[in-house]
Structure 1
Amino acid sequence: MPKIVLRWLSVLCLALASAAALAEEIQVAVAANFTAPMKLIAADFEKDTGHKAVLTFGATGKFYAQISNGAPFEVFLAADDETPARLEKEGTAVNGSRFSYATGKLVLWSAQPGLVDAQGEVLKKGDFKKIAIAAPRLAPYGAAAVETMNKLGLQAALEPKLVQGESIGQAFSFVSTGNAELGFIALSQVYEGGKVKSGSAWVVPENLHSPIRQDAVLLARAKDSKAAAQLMAYLKTDKAKAVIRAFGYEP
């Protein structure tokens, strides 16, 4: 093999090794409702930057407790705006790093076609045994569900039928497996191609609950991490926003 080719191969190997050495892994806590879009965004982020976002999904309230107790997360994508603000105030997150990456939508959904009508009247008729929600103290979508039921004057009537999941992911699981006939979940969990992809649904009007503003925040342990800062910036790009919109959120 000619010496010039060997020299170029050597330079290429060094460049690749250097790039690999600069790549980082970032530990990211992600609200369960944002599972599907964040998986796509993380894959794009790795392709575009070389950095790998290691994702853990769960309930916002549970993540708050874990982060407060030293869990090794570097970036937190919450399902509300209050929890990241609290972490900033307590010094567990980098002050001024917080921003809203998405505004979520609540939906009453059933895996059964035709069970949920377009106006949500099924809630008043009560022709079901179980309705699932996420735990209100842990999950903002669960709190929004309770607020909706109260605004409709149905909380007392529906209380005996409620089953609670630890996160919005578990609430969705209850409904999708038939353990509950219907439930309040995140629209993103059943939204694809501009419509609800299966079952039957009622998108809850925004005037029935407080806005579900979802904030991201850089955690204190990652204040000097360039890769974590890059992920925070990446969430604001047009490429990431397009993914967010595709799942029924407003960026």
Structure 2
Amino acid sequence: MHEKLTKSFSINGKSKSTLNNYSRCLAHLALHYNKSPEHLDKEAIDDYLFHCKNQHNTPSDSFFKHTIYGLRAIYKLLGMDGHKVQLPEIKRQNDLPVVMSLEEVKRLINAPKYLKHRLMIATLYGCGLRSYELCALKLSDVDFDRNTVFVKKQKGKQDRFVPLSKHLARGLQKYIRTEKPVIYLFNSQVTDNGKPLPITVRAIQWVIKENRSKIGTSKKITAHILRHSYATHLLESGLNLLALKDLLGHARIETTLIYLHVSNSGSSKKYSPLDLIYNT
């Protein structure tokens, strides 16, 4: 089953992180009953979903959602769309997004002890990257002559170029001279055969979590909130939605509208909001 799901995700351009989330949740379900999920009846599925919602050690909406989405994926893959087990609908959260102020972003960037960690946060925000996009970023993707960063298409998104802040460029050049990363802009370790590995999403989460308590805010800052703050700060300073759509790598303008809940106005000139913080 896992092999079929892996092939399907690869063919359809879906992300490895989504595959891992679905596979992990489906594996929990299979271990719970010692039976492959597609062979379970409605009562068994309902009992397990109740267990997920109420008995999980750390109740997690994402775990519950990934279990349902994973079941839908295997039902579709096996031609079981008309399966007698009816899965519950997942309601979208309509909570207002958390946005950091420019001063909070600046304090977070300056909080880490190590230059590498400061630049990881600055690159996430200054280029509006998703966590996995920062992980995949290679040295060759950064063009210091044109002050651009090339973000490769992943998860069905669009290839795009984003502006590289002059302030961030200076920091990255210093980091590259001193740390001498290989292949990836931010390496984690080197394997026994000498192959460099990129940082992981978990490592990014750790860096942010370790430093957000230092900046005097109650906001639960994540990489996603940095990206959302990037988008919001650009809109507030005059960038229009069509230009922002390209910077975020959205395929459809509707995604940008839903993501930001802000009106379309301003200039079409693209730039990095990191320069607003450091006024360069």
TM-score for both structures, normalised by structure 2? 0.27
Q: Which has the higher helix share?
A: 2
TM-score for both structures, normalised by structure 1? 0.29
Question: Which structure's relative contact order is higher, taking Cα pairs within 8 Å and 6+ residues apart?
Answer: 1
